[in-house]
Homo-oligomer: A and B are copies of this chain.
Amino acid sequence: MVTKVKSLNEECGVFGVWGIPDAARLSYFGLHSLQHRGQDGAGIVASNKGKLKGHRDLGLLTDVFKDDRQFDCLKGEAAIGHVRYNTAGSNGIQNIQPFQFEFHDEELALAHNGNLINATTLREQLEDEGAIFHSNSDTEILVHLIRRSERETLIERVKESLNKVKGAFAYLILTPNEMIAALDPNGFRPLSIGQMSNGAYVLASETCALDVVGAEFIRSLEPGEIVTVNDDGYQIEKYTEDTMMSICSMEYIYFARPDSDIAGVNVHTARKTMGRTLAEEAPTAADIVIGVPNSSLSAGSGYAEKSGIPYEMGLVKNQYIARTFIQPTQELRELGVRMKLSAVRGVVKGKKVVMVDDSIVRGTTSKRIVQLLRDAGATEVHVRISSPPLRFPSFYGIDIQNRHELIAADHSVEEVREIIGADSLVFLSVAGTVDSIGLNFDAPYGGLCMAYFTGDYPTPLYDYEADYLKSLEKEITVQRDEES
């Protein structure tokens, strides 16, 4: 059941538009700006003259929509789309969204960003009542609930169903008559609404997608909200009052694009501030600061600015994505890292380096980058991480569900430093992280979900409770061994 992950992975991005000709092509542009949220599959469903038509496949958006012909059957003025990150065991084409359903009395398409935490329970209940699932995805559950609801209108059936699913979700639903979006009661995942100059409404996981298609930002969806868009405009309701803001802090730290704003805070700015705070919390005597490209360039420059140490481009990322399959011998395997990232010898040689990165998951990558810098002649490598140690699994849509994949779960900071071979290692504090992002919601951590660092899960864990407790036991054993 446990698969090894090498980096943190977001689970999906969604985009929808209502009210503009060629809606599917516009969605392609919007989804392209969300590609960083999922690279394993993509799809678009368009609504035209009362019928839904879709195209989806495995791969990058540009692989799925290889040429213009794919849009020939995707006409119409409304569309929703999805980019997907595959979690373990879910890599079949039947899991690529948006899902499409054609009943004798209605049609609908559904896209989902997030992760349900009572999916196993719901699925078993539904199967026991005769339901047949065709994907491994928890996304499908919502449709079964909607179809089994006995309320009168679709919107009422959706609202009833939303109260049964638990966890993190930003849903997009398209029917020939309307586009519906809904956010979970904690607002774990971002979802914004915007408007095009022609009046069309756009929904997207990140505001960068609004910018790309030229839509003006209206507002973010709030926890427990459902929005209905149709030819009469949009209308926002609450489907539950039992809400508490807990937006995923990893969106700011790692996932989201720097040009996106989340809950009113620009992501690049948040990262730069985290870098500045880190410089205050962990000053270092060094010659240059280097941010690990691409996600830590903002934090790196913040650190440099605050510390007064010059910021240098000491690491270069190859812009061409390398396959790692060609690695038959150990010798060639070592080359894999260098294919992706190179140290600039002319910059690094003879220097004491502060290497700023946004997080450490398993430690493997950090270890390799430290070595890369040493090979290029760095005399000292001081690693500064612009977030706290990752110590607890995520159940809300980040692909870490086993805490023993997290090096900081089972090791002290000093142990981690030794493993990665750094001269020193400091993580940003929890308070420093929260303050740097600077949300002001009336909720713990100002409205951030910090569970990966603190274990403070903002919801019950439902299906994951047992697994989680079991993993803790093992931790205790490990810690006892350390103490003795």
Contact B62 A258 (CB under 8 A): no
A466: Cβ under 8 A from any B Cβ: no
Contact A65 B326 (CB under 8 A): yes
- A28 — which chain B residues lie within 8 A by C-beta? 326
Q: Given A104-B123, A148-B130, are A345 and B259 neighbors across the interface (CB < 8 Å)?
A: yes
Beyond A29-B339, A212-B335, list 15 extra A-B contacts (CB 8 Å). A28-B326, A32-B339, A66-B323, A68-B328, A129-B130, A132-B134, A134-B134, A211-B345, A257-B316, A259-B345, A261-B346, A268-B313, A268-B316, A269-B347, A294-B319
A281: Cβ under 8 A from any B Cβ: no
Binds B, one of A297-305, A381-389, A455-463, A472-480: A297-305
Contact B268 A344 (CB under 8 A): yes
Copies of this chain, tallied across the complex: 4
- A266 — which chain B residues lie within 8 A by C-beta? 344-347
Proximity bits, A227-267, B CB within 8 Å = 1, else 0: 00000000000000000000000000000011101000010
Instruction: Give the residue name and chain of the B residue nearest to A150 (CB).
Output: B130
A481: Cβ under 8 A from any B Cβ: no
A292 to chain B, nearest CB (A): 14
Greatest chain B CB density within 10 A among A29, A103, A259 is at: A259
- A334 — which chain B residues lie within 8 A by C-beta? 214
Contact A316 B258 (CB under 8 A): yes
Contact B301 A311 (CB under 8 A): yes
Q: Given A29-B335, A268-B313, A313-B258, are A36 and B319 neighbors across the interface (CB < 8 Å)?
A: yes
Contact A342 B130 (CB under 8 A): no
A156: Cβ under 8 A from any B Cβ: no
- A213 — which chain B residues lie within 8 A by C-beta? 335, 338
- A68 — which chain B residues lie within 8 A by C-beta? 325-326, 328
Instruction: Give the residue name and chain of the B residue nearest to A35 (CB).
Output: B320
Contact B131 A132 (CB under 8 A): yes
Q: Given A144-B130, A311-B311, are A25 and B60 neighbors across the interface (CB < 8 Å)?
A: no
- A130 — which chain B residues lie within 8 A by C-beta? 129-131, 144, 147-148
Contact B35 A342 (CB under 8 A): no
Q: Given A211-B345, A338-B212, are A32 and B132 neighbors across the interface (CB < 8 Å)?
A: no
Proximity bits, A17-53, B CB within 8 Å = 1, else 0: 0000010011011001101100100000000000000
